[in-house]
Structure 1
Amino acid sequence: MIRTVVCRVHPRLSRPLSSSARRPSELLPSSQSPIVSKLNFFNSVTPDGQKIPTYRILDGTGRLIDGAVLPDIDKSFALKLYENMQLLPTMDNILYNVQRQGKISFYMTAYGEEATIIGSAAALENDDEVLGQYREMGVLLWRGFGINNVMAQCFGNEEDTSGKGRQMPVHLGSSEYHFHTISSPLATQIPQAAGVGYALRRDPLRRGRSVAACFFGEGAASEGDFHAGLLLASTIPSPTVFIARNNGFAISTPSNEQFYGDGIASRGPGYGIDTVRVDGNDVLAVLATVREARQRSLDQGRAVLVEAMTYRVGHHSTSDDSFAYRARSEVEDRKRIDNPLVRFRLFLEAQGWWDEAAEEELKNRLRAEVMTHFKRAESLKRCELSELFSDVYGGEEPWNLKEQREELAILLRKYGNSWEPWRNEMAKFKNNGQDLLKEN
C-alpha cells in the first residue's frame, strides 16, 4: 500500500526571509568586525591608506614646527639633556679608538641615536626596569651609573659591578639602577620585558607605579621573540613600553630589505596595543612621546609600542665596516642634514640658554673627565680569578662548576709559574690568581 504524506508549511515560513531574519547578528562570534557585502583587501593601518605619520616638535634648525607644543621642561633640565647627549659621542670617540688599539676587545657606538636614547631615559622614572639591547649606555649614565663604572665594565677590571669582567664590553647591567644586564643574542630581552612588566603588575608595591621599558633595533623585530613579547604583554597583560630604534640597518641589511610593511609601528595594532611613531632625532619629541607612552602603559596595564625613526651614523660595531655596504657620502649627508645634537643645540641657543663658549667648555670638560676615568680603569687589575665561578647560579654551587674550578687550579699549579704566557696572564688578575690556588 502506498501512503501519501502531506506536509503543511507554516504561512510565515513560506515567505522569503527578510534581511533581518538572515542576519540575526551583525557581528561574528568573538569578533567586533562588522559584516559587509563588498570584497575589500587592505594593506594599511591608517584609514586613508597613507603611511603612519611621525611625531616631531623641532625642525632641523631647532625651531618649533607649526602646531607643536613643547613638553614640560626648564633650562636646567634642558641643559642636562644636552650634556648627556654630548657625553655619549665623547665616550664613543675614546672607547672606539681604545678598541682599535687592542686595549678592549669590542665596542658599540651610539652615533646618531643620542636623542632617542637620552630622550627615552629622561622620560622614564629612575626605578622603571630597563631591558636594553646594546646601545642604551646613556640610560645608565642618565640615572647616575657614572663614567667610571662604564670604563670598569669595558675593561673588565676589579671594579666591574656589571659582571666581574665576565661580560663583553658594553654588556652593562646594574640592579641598583634597575638596568637588566645586556645579553648578546638578538631580541631575547623582548619577551623577558613582558614578563618583567607582568611581575611589576603583580607586585603591590610597584603596581601602577613602575613599567618595564624594552629597547631594541628594527632588525630584532624580525625575530620570533618580538612577536612573542608583544603578544604576551598585550594579552596577559603587562605594563611594558617597547621602544624600537629604527636606525635603518640591521648590521649590513638596510630596513627596506628587512620588511615590506610600514616599519615596526604597523605591527602594533595587530596585537591590540597603542602605537606611535616619533622622530628619533628630536630629543624633545622622544621625551614627550615616551612620557605619554609610559603613562598609557600604567593606566591600561598593558603594552605600548614606540617606533623611533633615526639613523645609525656609526658602524654597527667595531667588528663592522659600514662603508662596505653604504656610501660614505650618505653618512656624511645625514650627519650634516639631521644631526640630533646640532638640532637641539640650535634650540637651546634660540632660548638664550647656550652659546659657543658654553659649547667649548662642555666638550673640553667631558673629554677630560672621560680620559681621567679611562686612564684609571686601564691601570686596574681584573677581578680575582676565583670570581670566574661565583654568582653564576643561585644557591649551592653545582658539581660541574666545582669540577671546573678544581681542574683550573690543577692546571695553574702545573703551568702557572713555568709557562710564560700563563704567567703573564695570571699577573693581570688581582692577587695574581693565587686566590684560586688557596681555595683548592
Structure 2
Amino acid sequence: MANNNILDPQKTLHEIEEKFEMFQILNEEGEIVNEEANPNLSDDELVELMSRMVYTRILDQRSISLNRQGRLGFYAPTAGQEASQLGSQFALEKEDWILPGYRDVPQIVWHGLPLEKAFLFSRGHFVGNQAPEGVNVLSPQIIIGAQYIQAAGVALGLKKRGTKGVAVTYTGDGGSSQGDFYEGINFAGAFKAPAIFFIQNNQYAISTPRELQTAATTLAQKGVAAGLPSVLVDGMDALAVYAVTKDARERALRGEGPTLIETMCYRYGPHTMAGDDPTRYRTSDIDSEWEKKDPLVRFRKYVEAKGLWSEEKENEVIERAKEEIKQAIKAADATPKQTVTQLMENMYKGDMPSNVKEQYEIYKEKESK
C-alpha cells in the first residue's frame, strides 16, 4: 500500500535514534579507543578507582553471604555495575548530593556513609538512615523512580541557595518506565536545575527484559522529550562513565541545567536476594557475553599495562575490604536493636493519634520488662 502521508514522523524518530551512539573510551581489552576523550586521571587516581571497584566487588560477595546467613535484610547485588556506579561517583565532589536507588549503596558508601550504617539500613534500622553531618546522601529509595522527583527538588534547592553542588540520582531500565521518571527530568529541565539523572540499564527490570520495557531504541533518548542533553555510554567502562559525569557536572554548575545519562551495563546476580532466580529468564550465553565485558577485568588490564597494578596490590585491597567489612558488621551487631516505640516516635512528631498512642503505651510497658 502506497504511503501518501504528507508528514513522515517515523523518519524524524529514526533520525533522533541514530544520533545516540554509545560513548566509549576503554574497550574490552583495556585499550584506549578514544584518546581525545580520555579524562587523563593521575596514576594515583587510577589506582584509587581500581581499588574501589575491587573493594566493592568484595563487598557485594560478602553482603550476599551475610544475607544468606540472616545477618542482613534487603540486599540488591551490584556485581557488574561497578564502573557505572563508581565511575560516576568518582567524578563528584563532597558538596554534591547523591539520591540513590536500592542498588546504589556503593556510591553513598564511597561518598562518606559509614559501612555499618549501610548494613543497618539493610536491616531496616533507623540508625542506618542517619547520615553523618557533611555526608550529602539520602537513604536508598525503595519506591521505583521516586528518587528522580526528589533529585529534581534537591537540585532546585541547590540552585536557589547558590550552592556549588549538583544532585545526582540513579534508577534502572525499569525505572525509566515510571511516571516519576519523566516528572523528575521534566521539572529539572524546565527550571535548569543542576541535576544528573542516571539510567543504569542492566538489561532486566527484575525478570522483564529491556526490550519489553519500551519501544524506544535507547533509554537516553527519553531525555530529549524533556529538553535534556542526553548521553548513551558504555557502563562497563569506568573511564567513559567518569568522563560523561564530569562533563555533565561542569555544565550543570555553569547554569546549563540537567543531563540524562544511560549507562549500558549488566548485573551478574539476581535482582535482589529476596527470591529472584535469574536463571529463569537469562541464558548462560547472555551471561558469558557480558562477563567478557566485566568492568574490573577491563580496567585491570588498563592499569596493569601502565604498570600501576599487580596481583599483590589487588590482594591487599581484598584483605583490607574483608577486614573493614568484618568490623562494620560487628559495629552494626553492637548497635542496640530498634524498638517498636522508637519506630512510633520516629514516625510521629508531636501528638500521636489516640489509637497509636494506646498501642505505644502497650509496647512501652512490654519493653520496660
Same fold (TM over 0.5): yes
CA gap 1:119/1:328 in 2 versus in 1, 3 angstroms: same
CA gap 1:46/1:252 in 2 versus in 1, 3 angstroms: same
Which one of the candidate residues 298, 312, 325 is aligned to 2:281?
325
CA distance in 2, matches of 1:332, 1:372: 35
CA distance in 2, matches of 1:155, 1:84: 24
Structure 1 residue 408: deviation in Å? 2.3
CA distance in 1, matches of 2:204, 2:132: 28
CA gap 1:118/1:125 in 2 versus in 1, 3 angstroms: same
Cα displacement string for residues 154-175 of structure 1 (whole angstroms, at most 9, x for unaligned residues): 3456xx63338xxxxxxxx666
Structure 1 residue 403: deviation in Å? 3.4
Higher relative contact order (CA 8 A, sep 6+): 2
Structure 1 residue 332: deviation in Å? 3.4
- Amino acid of the structure 1 residue aligned with 2:111: R
Which one of the candidate residues 103, 107, 112 is aligned to 2:75?
107
Name 2:171's counterpart in structure 1.
216
CA gap 1:175/1:242 in 2 versus in 1, 3 angstroms: farther
Identity %: 29
**2:24–2:34 contact (8 Å) kept in structure 1:** no
Which one of the candidate residues 124, 137, 162 is aligned to 2:128?
162
**Where in structure 1 are there 5+ consecutive unaligned residues?**
1-36, 165-172, 413-432
**2:156–2:194 contact (8 Å) kept in structure 1:** yes
Structure ID, larger Rg: 1
| 1:391 partner SS | helix
Cα displacement string for residues 162-194 of structure 1 (whole angstroms, at most 9, x for unaligned residues): 338xxxxxxxx6664111122321111111211
CA gap 1:44/1:312 in 2 versus in 1, 3 angstroms: farther
Name 1:238's counterpart in structure 2.
193
CA gap 1:47/1:327 in 2 versus in 1, 3 angstroms: closer
Structure 1 residue 386: deviation in Å? 3.4
Residues 21-420 of structure 1 mapped to structure 2, 5 A cutoff: 39-42=7-10, 47=15, 50=18, 52-155=20-123, 161-163=127-129, 176-204=134-162, 206=163, 209-319=164-274, 320-335=276-291, 337-383=292-338, 385-394=340-349, 396-400=350-354, 401-409=356-364, 412=366
CA gap 1:352/1:254 in 2 versus in 1, 3 angstroms: same
CA distance in 2, matches of 1:64, 1:44: 34
Greater displacement, 74-83 / 40-49? 40-49
- Amino acid of the structure 1 residue aligned with 2:96: D
CA distance in 1, matches of 2:138, 2:327: 27
Structure 1 residue 276: deviation in Å? 0.9
| 1:277 partner SS | strand
**2:111–2:135 contact (8 Å) kept in structure 1:** yes
**2:155–2:194 contact (8 Å) kept in structure 1:** yes
**1:241–1:303 contact (8 Å) kept in structure 2:** yes
| 1:194 partner SS | helix
| 1:192 partner SS | helix
CA distance in 1, matches of 2:330, 2:123: 11
Structure 1 residue 227: deviation in Å? 1.3
Size of the aligned set, in residue pairs, is 363
**1:112–1:313 contact (8 Å) kept in structure 2:** yes
Structure 1 residue 45: deviation in Å? 5.5
- Amino acid of the structure 2 residue aligned with 1:146: P
**1:198–1:238 contact (8 Å) kept in structure 2:** yes
**1:161–1:174 contact (8 Å) kept in structure 2:** no
Would you tell me which structure has more helix in proportion to its own residues? 2
Structure 1 residue 44: deviation in Å? 5.3
Greater displacement, 96-105 / 187-196? 96-105
- Amino acid of the structure 1 residue aligned with 2:263: A
CA distance in 2, matches of 1:241, 1:408: 44
Structure 1 residue 274: deviation in Å? 0.8
**Where in structure 2 are there 5+ consecutive unaligned residues?**
none
The alignment's C-alpha RMSD in Å is 2.3
CA distance in 2, matches of 1:213, 1:61: 30
Structure 1 residue 377: deviation in Å? 2.8
